[in-house]
Amino acid sequence: MTELSIFATIRPKPQHRADALAAIQGILDATRAEPGCHRFELNVDAGDDDALYLVEHWADDAALDAHYAHDYVQEVFAAYENWLAEPVQIVRMRRAA
């Protein structure tokens, strides 16, 4: 089992930023309660950037895959199709030895 970290940058269209923010806030508690979720943190830029940032830590790839399969996550992904200015940028990381 190898822990996995995710850094995701989400850039919603200006008219959908509030929707995207609310959608993620709406899944925080459920996601944090999932088996294998060690951290699921939503951040916003400290300046004027409207991007949203997720910092995630998962027990392994299987835990992340299970997260992505949940209906509530799939609903957010479906909404993103209309809300985002560009695809979500995801950086997958593993701890260096």
In a domain, 1, yes or no: no
Range of the domain at 16: 12-93
Decide if 84 is inside a domain. Answer: yes
The count of structural domains within the chain is 1
Left (φ > 0), alpha (ψ -120 to 50) or beta: where does 36 sit?
left
Evaluate whether residue 3 is within a structural domain.
no
Residue 53: per-residue pLDDT: 97
Residue 22 lies in a domain: yes
The answer to the question of residue 27 being in a domain is: yes
Render each residue's pLDDT in the chain as its tens digit; 97 residues. 689 999 999 999 999 999 999 999 999 999 999 999 999 999 998 888 899 999 999 999 999 999 999 999 999 999 999 999 999 999 999 988 7
Domain harbouring 69, CATH code: 3.30.70.100
- Predicted pLDDT at 86: 95
Rg (CA), the chain: 13
63, 37 contact by CB (below 8 A): yes
Let me know if residue 29 belongs to a domain: yes
* 82 inside domain: yes
Q: Establish if 4 belongs to a structural domain.
A: no
